Amino acid sequence: MENKIFRNFISNKGLKLTKERLAVLNEIFSFRGHFEPEQLYLRIKDSEIKASRASVYRTLNLLVESGLVGKVARTEKGNVYEQTFGQEHHDHMICDRCGAIIEFCSQKIENLQDELCKKNNFDGTSHNLVIRGLCKKCKRTKR
Ligand SMILES: [Zn+2]
Ligand SMILES: [Zn+2]
Q: Is 80 exceeded by the pLDDT of residue 77?
A: no
Ion ligand 2 — residues with CB < 5 Å: 82, 103
**In the sheet where 101-104 sits, what is the strand order?**
101-104, 91-95, 130-133
pLDDT of residue 138: 95
CA of 32 to the centre of ligand 2 (A): 9
Flag whether pLDDT at 20 surpasses 80. Answer: yes
CA 68–ligand 2 middle distance (angstroms)? 13
**Domains by residue range for the chain, with CATH:** 1-87 (1.10.10.10), 89-143 (3.30.1490.190)
Confidence of residue 143 (pLDDT cuts 50, 70, 90): low
Ligand nearest to the CA of 95: 1
Residue pair 2/29 in contact (Cβ under 8 Å)? The answer is: yes
Q: Which helix (H) or strand (E) covers residue 80, if one does?
A: strand 78-83
User: Smallest Cα–Cα separation from 86: which of 127, 23, 13, 28?
Assistant: 28
- For 25-73, what is each residue's pLDDT tens digit? 999 999 889 999 999 999 998 887 888 999 999 999 999 999 999 999 9
Determine what percent of the chain is predicted with pLDDT higher than 90: 76
